A and B are shown apart, each in its own frame.
Chain A
Amino acid sequence: MTDTPAQQVAAPQRSWYKRNEIAVTPWLFLAPAILFFAFYVIWPIYQSIAISFYDWDGLGEAQYVGMANYVELMDDSAFEVSLWNNLKWLLFYLLAIPGGLFIALFLNQTVTGIRIYKSLFFFPFVLSQVVVGLVFSWFYLPNEGLLNGVLGLVGLGPVNVLGDPTMATYGIIAAGLWPQTAYCMILYLTGLNAVDPEQIEAGRLDNAKGWKMLWYIIIPQLKPATFIAFVVTIIGALRSFDLISIMTNGGPFGQTRVLSFYMFEKALSEYGFRMGYGAAIAVVLFLIMLVFIAYFLWSMWSEEKRR
Chain B
Amino acid sequence: MRFTTKSMLMALAGTTMLAGAASAELTGELKIFLDTSNPAPRATMEKMIADFGAEHPGLEISTTVIDREAYKTQIRNFLTADSPDVATWYAANRMTPYVSAGLFEDVSDLWAEPEIAENLASTKGAMTIDGKQWGVPYTYYQWGIYYRKDIYEELGLNEPSNFDEMKSNCQAIVDSGRKCYTIGTKFLWTAGGWFDYLNMRTHGFDFHMELAQGNVKWTDDRVKETFANWRQLIDMGAFVDNHQNYSWQESLPFIVNGEAAAILKGNFAVAPLREAGLDDSKLDFYQFPAINPNVELAEDAPTDTFHIPANASNKEAAREFLRFVVSANVQTEINNGANLGQLPVNAQSAVDDDKFLNEGFTMLSQNSPGGVAQFFDRDFPAEMAAEAMQGLQEFMVFPDNLDDILARLDKVQERVYK
Contacts and interface: CB of A to CB of B under 8 A. Distances in A.
B408 interface: yes
Residue from A60, A163, A254, A271 whose CB has the most chain B CB atoms within 10 Å: A271
Contacts of A58: 76
A140 B383 CA distance: 31
A57 to B, nearest CB: 6
B390 A270 contact: no
A271 B377 contact: yes
Nearest to B405: A253
Given A72-B415, A249-B186, A273-B383, 6 more contacts: A59-B76, A160-B242, A163-B397, A251-B390, A268-B73, A272-B382
B28 interface: no
Interface in A214-262: 248-249, 251-254
B100 A77 contact: no
Contacts of A96: none
The A contact surface, by secondary structure, is: loop
Shortest Cβ-Cβ A-B pairs, 5 listed: A59-B101, A271-B386, A253-B394, A142-B242, A271-B382
A141 interface: yes
A83 interface: no
A252 B187 CA distance: 10
B245 interface: yes
Contacts of A60: 100-102
Contact of B394 (A252, A265, A271, A273): A252
B163 interface: no
Contacts of B382: 270-273
Contact of B187 (A72, A77, A249, A253): A249
Interface in B345-395: 377, 382-383, 385-386, 390-391, 393-394
B274 interface: no
Contacts of A252: 244, 393-394, 397
Contacts of B100: 60
B14 interface: no
Contact of B73 (A59, A142, A269): A269
B252 interface: no
A265 B390 CA distance: 12
Contacts of A249: 186-187
Given A269-B73, A273-B97, A254 B245 contact: no
B383 A271 contact: yes
B276 to A, nearest CB: 17
A163 B393 contact: no
14 contacts: A57-B97, A59-B79, A59-B103, A60-B101, A142-B242, A162-B245, A252-B393, A252-B397, A253-B394, A253-B397, A268-B73, A270-B72, A270-B73, A271-B377
Contact of A143 (B187, B188, B242, B394): B242
Contacts of B242: 142-143, 160, 163
Given A58-B76, A59-B76, A252-B397, A274 B383 contact: yes
Contact of A59 (B97, B186, B394): B97
Contact of B390 (A141, A160, A248, A253): A253
B99 to A, nearest CB: 10
A252 B396 CA distance: 11
A272 to B, nearest CB: 7
B161 to A, nearest CB: 34
A140 to B, nearest CB: 8
Interface string A129-151: 00000000000011100000000
B76 A253 contact: no
A77 B408 contact: yes
Contacts of A254: 390
Contacts of B102: 60
A268 B415 CA distance: 19
B241 interface: yes
A269 B394 CA distance: 20
A224 B186 CA distance: 43
Interface string B241-271: 1101100000000000000000000000000
A268 B75 CA distance: 11
A248 B247 CA distance: 10
Interface string B161-188: 0000000000000000000000000111
A163 B244 contact: yes
Given A60-B101, A271-B377, A273-B382, A253 B72 contact: no
A163 B398 CA distance: 12
Contacts of B397: 163, 252-253
Contacts of A72: 415
A252 B98 CA distance: 30
B101 A251 contact: no
A228 B199 CA distance: 56
B245 A163 contact: yes
Contacts of A251: 186, 188, 244, 390, 393
Interface in B95-135: 97-98, 100-103
Contacts of B98: 59
A44 B383 CA distance: 25
A61 to B, nearest CB: 9
Contacts of B394: 252-253
A235 B228 CA distance: 46
A251 B394 CA distance: 9
Contacts of A162: 245
Nearest to A161: B245
Contacts of A160: 241-242, 245
B38 interface: no
Contacts of A59: 76, 79-80, 97-98, 101, 103
Given A59-B76, A162-B245, A271-B385, A253 B101 contact: no
A264 to B, nearest CB: 9
B393 to A, nearest CB: 5
Contacts of B69: 270
Contacts of B188: 251
Nearest to B395: A253
A247 B363 CA distance: 38
Interface in B266-294: none
